[in-house]
């Protein structure tokens, strides 16, 4: 029985599974007459994926969603598949690059591209941060590929399939030659991969973008300009007075709803005052900044949380671990007005531990942060008991980058403020 993939035929996430199927000899068929926005809204589809996203793989044992999981399923359908490498360390490195591809490449291409296509608000500072993060990731990838033809080993693996598909959107849509020339080894790698026969069969011919899509204009104003001559033709001047009123009525619904955190009762703790104290304290940090923090802290208006990365054993490469944390902090930008955080990367050798401390407005982790920053679910969260002196001292050590932390050296300490 063939596996059925519910998706459009031009979706790069679906392409991961289809290319893996070509390499493994597993039969995967696209669902017939699939129509985006219609097929994925049916009760039958929602049973397979409750949030209605594509792709979804229908198997004899039940559905699988999330594109990387689907690609893994297809690959593991063939025992001892070389796409998973020839050893345990190669398997781990393949999974390492799959995570890197998702969090550092795919996510940042999306943050750059989609607002320019109108899928989300276009905010220049956010775009600047996305491009900087993407360049940092591509630079790391470029360094690795300077001495490697493929990501792991000497032949195509699942890591190359996932990376190639994720990069294909960037190369096709927004990463022009003037952008990618800074990363010659990435260029060589990408064109090598996408021109393999099994890739060509699914992706077709890939052509690099010649220009960056223009950001959406804020005011589609032609209709208003067309209305002005009509106003002049009217003999009465009252019409001219009515036009601005009509425009004001149109614009009235535009203000955004307030963030629920802005509606909380006022707090004695002013977050910006704490951030300023933290940034400006250069000496006697314990006596000045730490003491100042506890003097300011308002347990009725704020809450403190420890977080531990759930998959510490995966942190086998230092720069990948650091990039993972950096990407998390960038995606937390939506909470900057309501949060302060410290993220520690701990250890002098792999596997590195990632642990954090977060101060949030309100007495719980804000719902909009949990909903919109997918990294949150990668961590175990535990509220700090400020009446426990041991936990309180741990907070102090994390704020001041105390070393050794819990008996180990700090590889890095990053602050979100």
Torsions phi, psi for 33 (to 5 deg): 55, 35
Write down the pLDDT at residue 351.
93
Which H or E run includes 4? strand 3-6
Summarize pLDDT for 201-214 with one digit per residue, the tens.
Answer: 999 999 999 999 99
Q: Would you say 213 and 117 are in contact if contact means Cβ atoms under 8 Å apart? A: yes
Residue 252 has pLDDT above 60, yes or no: no
CB crowding 91-112: b at 16 or more within 10 Å, else e: eebbbbbbbbbbbbbbbbbbbb
Strands 28-30, 302-309: pairing is unpaired
Domains and CATH numbers, the chain: 3-77 (3.40.30.10), 88-203 (1.20.1050.10), 271-416 (3.30.70.1010)
User: What rounded mean pLDDT belongs to the chain?
Assistant: 89
d(CA 62, CA 51): 17
Four-point Cα dihedral 31, 33, 37, 41, nearest 10: -60
Residue 185 to residue 171: CA distance in whole angstroms: 14
List of long-range contacts for 8-13, beta carbons under 8 Å, 24+ apart: 8/34, 8/36, 8/54, 11/54, 11/55, 12/165, 12/166, 12/168, 12/169, 13/54, 13/55, 13/67, 13/165
pTM: 0.54
CA 192, chain centre distance (Å): 26
Give residue-wise pLDDT tens across range 355-388: 999 999 999 999 999 988 888 999 999 999 999 9
For 251, phi then psi, to 5°, come to -85, -15
The structure tokens listed for 271 are 């977050």
Is it the case that residue 258 has pLDDT exceeding 90? Answer: no
């Amino acid at each position: 029985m063939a596996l059925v993939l519910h998706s459009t035929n031009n979706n790069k996430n679906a392409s991961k599974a289809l290319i893996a199927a070509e390499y493994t000899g597993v039969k995967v068929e696209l669902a017939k007459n699939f129509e985006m926005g219609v097929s994925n809204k049916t009760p039958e589809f929602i049973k397979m994926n409750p949030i209605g996203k594509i792709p979804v793989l229908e198997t004899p044992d039940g559905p699988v969603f999330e594109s990387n999981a689907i690609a893994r399923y297809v690959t593991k359908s063939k025992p001892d598949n070389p796409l998973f490498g020839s050893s345990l360390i190669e398997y781990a490195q393949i999974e390492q690059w799959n995570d890197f591809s998702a969090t550092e490449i795919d996510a940042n291409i999306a943050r750059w591209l989609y607002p320019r296509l109108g899928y989300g608000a276009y905010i220049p500072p956010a775009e600047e941060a996305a491009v900087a993060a993407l360049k940092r990731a591509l630079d790391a990838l470029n360094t690795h590929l300077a001495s490697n033809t493929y990501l792991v080993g000497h032949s195509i693996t699942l890591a190359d399939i996932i990376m190639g598909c994720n990069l294909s959107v960037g190369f096709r849509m927004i990463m022009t030659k003037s952008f990618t020339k800074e990363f010659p080894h990435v260029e060589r790698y990408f064109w090598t991969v996408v021109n393999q026969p099994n890739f060509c069969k699914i992706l077709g011919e890939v052509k690099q973008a010649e220009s960056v899509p223009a950001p959406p204009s804020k005011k589609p104003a032609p209709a208003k300009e067309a209305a002005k001559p009509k106003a002049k033709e009217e003999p009465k001047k009252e019409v001219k007075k009515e036009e601005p009123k009509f425009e004001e009525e149109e614009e009235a619904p535009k203000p955004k709803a307030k963030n629920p955190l802005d509606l909380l009762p006022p707090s004695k703790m002013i977050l910006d005052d704490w951030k300023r104290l933290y940034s400006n304290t250069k000496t006697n940090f314990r006596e000045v900044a730490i003491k100042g923090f506890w003097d300011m802290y308002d347990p009725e208006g704020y809450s403190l949380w420890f977080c531990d990365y759930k998959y510490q054993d995966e942190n086998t490469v230092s720069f990948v671990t650091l990039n993972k944390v950096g990407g998390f902090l960038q995606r937390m930008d939506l909470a900057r007005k309501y949060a302060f955080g410290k993220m520690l990367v701990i250890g002098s050798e792999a596997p590195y531990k990632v642990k954090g401390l977060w101060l949030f407005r309100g007495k719980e982790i804000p719902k909009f942060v949990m909903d919109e920053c997918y990294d949150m679910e990668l961590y175990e969260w535990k509220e700090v008991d400020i009446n426990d002196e041991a936990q309180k001292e741990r907070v102090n050590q994390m704020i001041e980058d105390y070393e050794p932390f819990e008996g180990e050296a700090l590889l890095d300490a990053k602050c979100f403020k």
